[in-house]
């Protein structure tokens, strides 16, 4: 194995491993040689294993089954979702990564960040994926706000004499159950906290109110809860992977996303998800957006140079050539 990458130990029967935890060294040797594992790693040792994989130029694919087995048996029950972000991403565990990113969007009160229990600071998620988790959480807040505001907006359009009292009573009830004003409540509550409090919503307009003010507020709030709960399925590693476009071409994904069918969003993915998961995962492809920008600039520069060249040639030949200034 080592001989294929020109290690000095490649021609020797003895390999000096140097520093490192014995458990990590034992694990990767057993995995590489397909020998039964004696014990699993402690959770922080996963980062040391990744270091060993990189140092010895091992194939990460060899360790995916080991990680998936550990995740299924106990890892997702023993640690917080944020702590599994890097391991599930590095070992390509699509369902685990989706669950972690979804849980964080719904459970985290403050800005989503990524912990690292080791001192190996080079191991972390791409920055864009942390950004997209926070963007998804922000979108959930917007959906929740718009849903709770909808009854207010309807009441503002009425001209009945009971509309003001109904509007006040509706918002007062939201205040009583601890979800209004929403922006203030988000300072100390996660999306799940707010949704849990909304299950206590029981407002009904008095019988003296007109039929327009006596709309079914409880059904409206149940729909808001359902819409928010089902909006985001987490980030998808397959959608993030630029080699797996939905349309057959990564650039067409960008231009044709509004025309895709509902069944297209998780085409070729390892779990079923809806459009928001695709959108926030696709938007995480910062390298593609940067590439599009560079290519557009280069293409524009090419046309500018061609216009200058044609102008120069036309001046020399005393010909009149009208070169378009735009695209």
Name the more confident of 206 and 291.
Answer: 206
Query: Which pLDDT score, from 0 to 100, does residue 74 have?
Result: 73
Per-residue H/E/C for the chain = CHHHHCCHHHHCCCCCCCCCCHHHHHHHHHHHCCCCCCCCCCCCHHHHHHHHHHHCCCCHHHHHHHHHHHHHHHHHHHCCHHHHHHHHHHCCCHHHHHHHHHHHHHHCCCCCCCCCCCCCCCCCCCHHHHHHHHHHHHHHHHHHHHHHHHHHHHHHCCCCCCHHHHHHHHHHHHHHCCCCCHHHHCCCCCHHHHHHHHCCCCCCCCCCCCCCCCCCHHHHHHHHHHHHHCCCCCCCHHHHCCCCCCCCCHHHHHHHHHHCCHHHCCCCCCCCCCHHHHHHHHCCCHHHHHHHHHHHHHHHHHHHHHHHHHHHHHHHHCCCCCCCCCC
Categorize the per-residue pLDDT at 174 as very low, low, confident or very high, splitting at 50, 70 and 90. Answer: very high
Answer yes or no: is pLDDT of 307 > 50.
no
Name the more confident of 130 and 257.
Answer: 130
Name the more confident of 211 and 251.
Answer: 211
pLDDT (mean) for 115-128 = 90
Answer yes or no: is pLDDT of 34 > 80.
no
pLDDT (mean) for 99-107 = 96
Question: Quick one: what percent of the chain has pLDDT higher than 90?
Answer: 48
Name the more confident of 220 and 257.
Answer: 220
Query: Which pLDDT score, from 0 to 100, does residue 104 have?
Result: 96
For the chain, what is the mean pLDDT?
Answer: 80
Answer yes or no: is pLDDT of 314 > 60.
no
Answer yes or no: is pLDDT of 18 > 80.
no
Categorize the per-residue pLDDT at 110 as very low, low, confident or very high, splitting at 50, 70 and 90. Answer: very high
Categorize the per-residue pLDDT at 48 as very low, low, confident or very high, splitting at 50, 70 and 90. Answer: confident
Query: Which pLDDT score, from 0 to 100, does residue 3 have?
Result: 43
Categorize the per-residue pLDDT at 320 as very low, low, confident or very high, splitting at 50, 70 and 90. Answer: very low
pLDDT (mean) for 8-36 = 66
């Amino acid at each position: 194995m080592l001989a294929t990458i020109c290690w000095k130990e490649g021609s020797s029967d003895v390999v000096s491993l140097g520093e490192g935890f014995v458990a990590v060294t034992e694990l990767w040797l057993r995995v590489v040689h397909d020998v039964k594992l004696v014990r699993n790693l402690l959770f922080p040792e996963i980062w040391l294993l990744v270091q060993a994989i990189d140092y010895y130029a091992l194939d990460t694919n060899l360790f995916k089954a080991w990680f998936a087995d550990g995740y299924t048996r106990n890892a997702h029950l023993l640690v917080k979702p944020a702590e599994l972000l890097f391991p599930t991403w590095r070992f390509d565990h699509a369902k685990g990564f989706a669950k972690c990113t979804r849980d964080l969007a719904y459970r985290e009160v403050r800005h989503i960040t990524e912990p690292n229990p080791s001192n190996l600071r080079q191991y972390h998620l791409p920055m864009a994926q942390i950004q997209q988790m926070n963007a998804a959480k922000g979108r959930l807040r917007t959906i929740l706000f718009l849903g709770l505001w909808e009854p207010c907006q309807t009441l503002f359009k009425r001209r009945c004499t009971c509309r003001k009292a109904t509007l006040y009573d509706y918002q007062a009830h939201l205040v009583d159950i601890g979800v209004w004003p929403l922006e203030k409540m988000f300072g100390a509550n996660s999306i799940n906290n707010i949704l849990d409090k909304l299950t206590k919503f029981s407002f009904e307009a008095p019988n003296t109110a007109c039929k327009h003010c006596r709309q079914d507020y409880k059904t409206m709030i149940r729909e808001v809860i359902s819409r928010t709960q089902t909006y985001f399925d987490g980030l998808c590693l397959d959608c993030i992977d630029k080699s797996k476009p939905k349309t057959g071409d990564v650039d067409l994904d960008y231009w044709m996303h509004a025309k895709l069918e509902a069944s297209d969003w998780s085409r070729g993915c390892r779990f079923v998800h809806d459009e928001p998961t695709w959108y926030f995962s696709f938007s995480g492809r910062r390298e593609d957006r940067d590439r599009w920008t560079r290519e557009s600039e280069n293409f524009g520069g090419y046309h500018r140079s061609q216009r200058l060249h044609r102008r120069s040639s036309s001046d020399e030949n005393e010909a009149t050539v009208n070169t378009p200034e735009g695209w």
